[in-house]
């Protein structure tokens, strides 16, 4: 159940950025598939009856579906997710799929690859770029910029497709080494100064450089600054709601993260 209708008018002023989700996005579908294959129930604490909103995975009192921004972008994102990632309520690949319309998601396995993934990587409309530290790839594969189309020919230029390995760091290294279908693709290595901008924020979140932050950086590199900033603000809103729920405190709808997101969405 989405709660969009429970907050009528909250984002009425937004231009085209609040499209109510009509169907589950790629990560939501992957989660459902993964749950269906699971031999034992995945236990994640929910509300009083254990319930979580299927739209945002938060307990109903902290649901943020009403403020979900959807941004049409030229760039796309392809998430290769380690087995357990789609099941984690804190997975931030989900937030990318919320915001970026053209988000694709596939479960990763060492011994098999989805035909749909191979078809996507071979689709001539996309220029796939594997986002990974350049020090782990052959030097001739490494790029530090995304192709930005010339103003005169945007229609014929390929759209960047950021391939993100959504996993813990040891898993991601294994995925990078053992996915031969990625070996011919350029590796987009984020520059140290871009990363360091976020290192300052790591302590705030208390965990590693997360997948949504990487996607935000990539969108910025592709010239999609509005989508980049919006994803970043939405991540902060999600983090706030997630932590408030964890500590059994109410979300602050007037707080800094919400305000920043509303400004970006043109609602204030």
Which is closer to Zn ion, CB of 65 or CB of 78?
Answer: 65
Residue whose token pair is 């236990």: 43
At closest approach, how far in Å is the CB of 10 from Zn ion? Answer: 13
Looking at the Cβ atoms of 65 and 96, the one nearer to Zn ion is 65
Terminal C-alpha separation, the chain: 27
Instruction: Candidates 46-54, 144-152, 153-161, 204-212: pick the segment binding Zn ion (CB under 5 A).
Output: 46-54
Closest CA to 25 of 53, 60, 3, 56: 56
CA distance 36 to 34: 5
Quick one: 61 or 194, whose CB is closer to Zn ion? Answer: 61
Q: Tell me the helix, strand and coil percentages in the chain, rounded to 5.
A: 40, 10, 45
76 binds Zn ion (CB under 5 A): no
Does residue number 53 form part of the binding site for Zn ion (CB under 5 A)?
yes
Q: How many residues bind Zn ion (CB under 5 A)?
A: 5
Q: Within the chain, where are the H helices?
A: 26-37, 93-99, 115-122, 169-177, 192-205, 211-221, 225-246, 256-264
- CB 267 → Zn ion: shortest distance, Å? 18
**Binder among 30, 55, 117, 172 for Zn ion (CB under 5 A):** 55
By beta-carbon proximity to Zn ion, the closer residue of 52 and 159 is 52
Q: Which of residues 193-222 bind Zn ion (CB under 5 A)?
A: none
Question: Number of C-alpha atoms within 13 angstroms, CB side, residue 74?
Answer: 19
CA 184: distance to chain centroid? Answer: 24
- Asked if 65 is part of the footprint of Zn ion (rule: CB under 5 A), the reply reads yes
Task: Please answer whether residues 224 and 73 qualify as being in contact, where contact means their C-beta atoms are separated by less than 8 angstroms.
Answer: yes
User: Residue 155 Cβ, how far from Zn ion at the closest point, in Å?
Assistant: 37
Select 56 or 131, whichever has its Cβ closest to Zn ion: 56
Contact with Zn ion (CB under 5 A): which of 26, 56, 167, 233?
56
Contact positions toward Zn ion, by CB under 5 A? 53, 55-56, 63, 65
């Amino acid at each position: 159940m989405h709660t969009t209708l429970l907050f009528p008018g909250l984002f009425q002023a937004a231009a085209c950025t609040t499209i109510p989700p009509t169907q589950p996005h790629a990560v939501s579908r992957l989660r459902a598939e993964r749950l269906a294959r699971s031999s034992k129930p995945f236990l994640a604490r929910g509300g009083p009856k254990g319930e979580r909103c299927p739209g945002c995975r938060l307990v109903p009192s902290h649901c943020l579906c009403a403020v979900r921004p959807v941004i049409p972008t030229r760039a796309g994102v392809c998430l290769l997710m380690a087995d357990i990632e789609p099941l984690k309520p804190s997975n931030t690949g989900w937030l990318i799929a919320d915001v970026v319309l053209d988000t694709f998601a596939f479960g990763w396995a060492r011994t098999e690859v989805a035909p749909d993934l191979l078809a996507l990587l071979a689709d001539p409309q996309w220029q796939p770029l594997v986002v990974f530290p350049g020090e782990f790839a052959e030097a001739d594969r490494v790029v530090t910029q995304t192709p930005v189309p010339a103003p005169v020919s945007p229609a014929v230029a390929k759209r960047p497709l950021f391939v993100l390995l959504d996993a813990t760091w040891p898993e991601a290294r294994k995925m990078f080494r053992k996915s031969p279908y990625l070996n011919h693709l350029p590796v987009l290595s984020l520059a140290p100064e871009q990363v360091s901008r976020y290192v300052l924020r790591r302590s705030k979140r208390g965990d590693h450089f997360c997948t949504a932050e990487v996607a935000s950086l990539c969108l910025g590199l592709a010239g999609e600054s509005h989508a980049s900033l919006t994803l970043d603000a939405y991540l902060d809103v999600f983090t706030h709601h997630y932590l408030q729920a964890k500590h059994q405190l109410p979300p602050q709808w007037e707080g800094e993260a919400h305000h920043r997101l509303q400004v970006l969405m043109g609602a204030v």
